[in-house]
């Protein structure tokens, strides 16, 4: 099978430029077809392996930090802005449901942008599309800070999402370029640790920004963050997709590749399960500022603290997944546990917010949200890893489908949580329960985890 020749963590030096020892000039060309790792470069001499390995580790650390920054950018763009949502409704004189569309627009942009950037990265490599996307992201974010109306802010958030999609989709594709199997699942958990810092600190930063300036200052800070990350990508992230593994076709071939991926029942099952789990998460993200602050009367700083605590739970469980469970328990079993806990937590939130047990108060609701968020640490990295392992030949297109599905479903869930106004949290819980049931159903029916996997 082609996957047997995929690069793992120890092979990253074949993709990331590192100081290399001279290769023997007399090394003969391969006489017969070999694996991808055999055809890229001659085997190094035994006495040069130690320096090469050390260099690869240093390069691997840099790549980990850069990819972590890219995956942290979406939660920064979303979560730093959350404490300001009530203020934005007053400043722009628009209803809450309209202002929530600024989140929907950003999500929709990230979803559609991935469909374009993913195939582009399979054709032209990872680096160039990523740099272009980051530059446009910085410009769009800067313009958001000066939007005079809700309509223009929604439009610029859409542009911000379209450009920011490059970081999301290419980060996953780079991981697929460098890792495989269990190592890939572990790396996704490591990325969750790095990117998980963003949702922890972003609302806290947003709350503090609101103490010294208005909501527009949030976008000024995001512009600076995007600019720094663009410079870091330009300096440290080298190309990970060699020319020999790129796709020469255009839009038609990209569409055929995606159609082939969607025809894979198991890939589609993981894609839908991950997308619906993300919708549960985004229902919380878009509704929690109003639920915590407007319904339960918490301050922006208290909301930021609770949001950060929930993010700590997600990161901690993600590390338990990567360090303790992956390699010891099957990925499907861990994924099933995660989806099951998400459903139980969402059901508990529905019971509490509907008033069946009286007024539960903020502590009980916060506890239910903490459990729900923490269980995402079991679901999200494993759906990505399992789906990408089905597509070694088109990591960019597969990553685009995964991201687009997640963000489109999340964009649909966002306005639904406010459909009954700002005085009840029931719509949030209903959306979460419905998406959790659907996610678990897709996993069990399409992936069929109790049956032997087919190649």
The pLDDT of residue 123: 78
The pLDDT of residue 59: 53
CA distance 210 to 85: 11
Lowest mean pLDDT among 341-350, 365-374, 410-419: 410-419
**pLDDT score of 450 more than 70:** no
Mean pLDDT, rounded, for 358-366: 85
The pLDDT of residue 345: 95
The pLDDT of residue 97: 76
DSSP three-state, residue 327:
coil
pLDDT band at 193 (very low <50, low <70, confident <90, very high): low
DSSP state of 358: B
| Cβ(378)–Cβ(336) below 8 Å | no
**pLDDT score of 32 more than 60:** no
**pLDDT score of 22 more than 90:** no
Q: Please provide the DSSP assignment of 27-52 as one string.
A: PPPPSS---HHHHHSPPPPGGGHHHH
pLDDT in tens, 121-171: 887 888 888 999 999 999 999 999 888 888 899 999 999 988 988 888 888
pLDDT in tens, 262-297: 999 999 999 999 999 989 988 887 788 888 888 888
The pLDDT of residue 56: 44
Name the pTM for this structure.
Answer: 0.66
Short-list 114, 72, 70, 62, CA closest to 238: 62
- How far, CA to CA in Å, does 176 sit from each of 243, 355, 390, 448? 16, 46, 11, 24
| Cβ(179)–Cβ(7) below 8 Å | yes
CA distance 110 to 71: 12
Using CA atoms of 15, 198, 424, 341 in order, give the dihedral in degrees to the nearest 10. 60
**Of the segments 91-100, 168-177, 368-377, which one has the largest average pLDDT value?**
368-377
**pLDDT score of 109 more than 90:** no
Higher local confidence (pLDDT), 420 or 86: 86
**CB atoms near residue 154 (< 10 Å):** 20
The pLDDT of residue 266: 93
pLDDT in tens, 47-89: 333 334 444 445 567 777 888 888 888 778 877 887 888 888 8
The pLDDT of residue 346: 94
The pLDDT of residue 299: 82
Q: What is the Cα 384 distance to its own chain's centre?
A: 9
CA distance 104 to 434: 19
**pLDDT score of 338 more than 90:** yes
The pLDDT of residue 265: 93
Mean pLDDT, rounded, for 103-123: 81
Please, what is the average pLDDT of the chain?
78
Count of H-run helices and E-run strands, the chain: 16, 0
The pLDDT of residue 420: 57
| Cβ(261)–Cβ(398) below 8 Å | yes
DSSP three-state, residue 388:
helix
- How far, CA to CA in Å, does 386 sit from each of 260, 382, 443, 455? 17, 6, 11, 12
The pLDDT of residue 272: 95
**CB atoms near residue 78 (< 10 Å):** 22
Higher local confidence (pLDDT), 394 or 13: 394
CA distance 349 to 369: 8
DSSP three-state, residue 329:
strand
Structure tokens at 305: 């603290």
Q: Which residues of 398-437 are buried (b: 16+ CB within 10 A; e: fewer)?
A: bbbbbbbbbbbbbbbbbbbbbeeebebbbbbbbbbbbbbb
| H or E element, residue 138 | helix 127-144
The pLDDT of residue 142: 92
Q: Please provide the DSSP assignment of 98-118 as one string.
A: HHHHHHHHHHHHHHHHHHHHH
The pLDDT of residue 18: 36
CA distance 185 to 183: 5
Please report, rounded to a whole number, the percentage of residues in the chain having pLDDT higher than 70.
81
The pLDDT of residue 41: 39
pLDDT in tens, 400-412: 888 788 878 887 8
**pLDDT score of 243 more than 60:** yes
Higher local confidence (pLDDT), 213 or 20: 213
**pLDDT score of 449 more than 50:** yes
The pLDDT of residue 43: 42
Please report, rounded to a whole number, the percentage of residues in the chain having pLDDT higher than 90.
21
**pLDDT score of 392 more than 90:** no
Short-list 226, 231, 114, 113, CA closest to 173: 114
- CA-CA-CA-CA torsion sign (77, 108, 282, 333): negative
Q: Which residues of 49-66 are buried (b: 16+ CB within 10 A; e: fewer)?
A: eeebeebbeebbebbbeb
Q: What is the largest CA-CA distance in the chain?
A: 81
The pLDDT of residue 96: 78
DSSP three-state, residue 297:
coil
């Amino acid at each position: 099978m082609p996957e047997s020749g995929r690069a793992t963590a120890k092979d990253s030096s074949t993709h990331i430029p590192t100081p290399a020892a001279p290769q023997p000039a007399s090394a003969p060309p391969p006489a017969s077809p070999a694996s991808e790792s055999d055809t890229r470069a001659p085997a190094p001499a035994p006495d040069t392996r130690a320096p090469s390995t050390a260099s690869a580790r240093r390069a691997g650390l840099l790549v980990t930090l850069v990819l972590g920054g890219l995956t942290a950018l979406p939660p920064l763009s979303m979560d730093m802005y959350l404490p300001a949502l009530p203020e934005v409704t007053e400043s722009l004189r628009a209803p809450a449901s309209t202002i929530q569309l600024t989140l929907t627009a950003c999500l929709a942009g990230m979803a559609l942008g991935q469909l374009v950037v993913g195939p582009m990265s399979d054709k032209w490599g990872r680096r160039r599309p990523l740099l272009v996307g980051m530059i446009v992201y910085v410009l769009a974010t800067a313009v958001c800070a000066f939007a005079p109306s809700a309509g223009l802010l929604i439009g610029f958030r859409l542009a911000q999402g379209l450009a920011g999609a490059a970081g999301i989709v290419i980060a996953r594709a780079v991981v697929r370029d460098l890792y495989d199997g269990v190592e890939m699942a572990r790396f996704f958990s490591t990325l969750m640790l790095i990117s998980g810092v963003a949702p922890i600190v972003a609302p806290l930063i947003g709350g503090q920004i609101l103490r010294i300036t208005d909501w527009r200052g949030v976008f000024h800070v995001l512009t600076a963050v995007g600019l720094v990350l663009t410079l870091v990508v330009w300096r440290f992230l080298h190309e990970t997709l060699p020319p020999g593994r790129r796709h020469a076709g255009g839009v038609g071939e990209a569409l055929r590749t995606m159609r082939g991926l969607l025809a894979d029942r198991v890939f589609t099952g993981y894609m839908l399960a991950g997308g619906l789990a993300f919708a549960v998460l985004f229902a919380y993200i878009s509704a929690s500022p109003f639920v915590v602050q407007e319904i339960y009367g918490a301050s922006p700083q208290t909301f930021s603290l609770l949001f950060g605590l929930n993010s700590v739970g997600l990161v901690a469980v993600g590390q338990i997944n990567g360090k303790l469970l992956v390699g010891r328990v099957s990925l499907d079993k861990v994924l099933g546990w995660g989806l099951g806990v998400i459903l139980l937590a969402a059901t508990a939130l529905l019971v509490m917010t509907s008033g069946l047990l009286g007024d539960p108060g903020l502590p009980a609701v916060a506890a239910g949200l903490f459990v729900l968020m923490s269980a995402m640490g079991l679901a999200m990295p494993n759906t990505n890893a399992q789906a990408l392992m089905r597509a070694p030949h088109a990591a960019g297109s597969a990553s685009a489908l995964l991201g687009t599905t997640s963000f489109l479903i999340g964009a649909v869930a966002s306005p639904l949580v406010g459909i009954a106004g700002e005085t009840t949290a029931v719509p949030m819980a209903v959306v979460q329960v419905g998406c959790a049931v659907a996610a678990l159903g897709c996993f069990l029916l399409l992936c069929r985890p109790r049956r032997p996997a087919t190649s």
